[in-house]
Amino acid sequence: MAKAERMFVVVDPSSNSHPALERVIRTAKLRPTLPVVKVFVIVDSEAVDTRAINDNLCRDQSWFISEIREPLEEVGVEYSIEISWSSEWQKSILMSSKQFGTDRIYLPVHERTNNSSRYSFSESKWDLLKTAECPVVLIQPQATEQRKVILAAVNIQALDDAQRELNKSILHWGKEVADMYGAEYHVVNAYVDSMNYPDRGRLAKETGIESTHIHVEAGYTDESVSRVAERINADLVVMGTLGQNGMIKSRRGNTAARVIAALKQDIMVVNH
């Protein structure tokens, strides 16, 4: 029997919907072996009004039964619930997920603010993506639940070993998810300089997918990936980020941050 995956899902008790939990349940139904799920209940104080006037901060036992226990028990998965009131949102998620031996973290993303067409992540969220030891799946508000088209974003023309290893991880996870859902698998590689044009033959060889599902797109990475995702109606974009040391400001200005901000689809972030 295959080893059961360990899925860690963050649930915000101040929210009236729980798309991350819904994605975990949907995924569990497709796995040959049911996963073990840990539900981590915590309020992101950077994104939620934590004043007493917010009625949604008070939840009774019936809420836990109807919103968490019953949906999981209906599927028959083994699960546990942990509640955290830590003000260190990112650190508490990382510590608990590590203790759980997590294979994947499912994280809900809050609505866009200030009528912006892009998301703006706090430093703690970027730190979480940069330091997580497993893929983090960002569940976007109003994103489609289906998984019919998976898009992996790579940089095949990279010369450094770290980026090449990251490409392998992205392609591995893209295929893993596509196989799980029986979905179409696409790969996109952006480029700006025509002198650094990606090798389509190499992409085809390393991915093993048909050429019509390989997209070599001119333009900046965030714009190109977003454009292809919209064009093929992707449901999930798999991308990577290199774990970096140094100033937070330098981390927030990188390419991965811009790609995440530009996408409306669910996103799996693979860290290396």
Residue-number span of the structural domain to which 69 is assigned: 6-139
Is residue 94, in this structure, part of any structural domain at all?
A: yes
Six-digit token string for 15: 């929210």
The model's pTM is 0.90
pLDDT in tens, 75-112: 999 999 999 999 899 999 999 999 999 999 999 987 65
Q: Are residues 200 and 172 in the same domain?
A: yes
Domain count, the chain: 2
> What is the C-alpha radius of gyration for the chain, rounded to an integer number of angstroms?
19
Q: Are residues 126 and 187 in the same domain?
A: no
Q: Are residues 135 and 44 in the same domain?
A: yes
Domain boundary among 139, 159, 182: 139
Q: Are residues 81 and 195 in the same domain?
A: no
**Cα–Cα nearest to 137, from 89, 105, 103:** 105
Is residue 144, in this structure, part of any structural domain at all?
A: no
Q: Are residues 116 and 155 in the same domain?
A: no
Q: Are residues 47 and 134 in the same domain?
A: yes
pLDDT in tens, 146-204: 899 999 999 988 878 888 899 999 999 999 999 989 999 999 999 988 777 888 888 88
The DSSP letter of residue 183 is -
Is residue 1, in this structure, part of any structural domain at all?
A: no
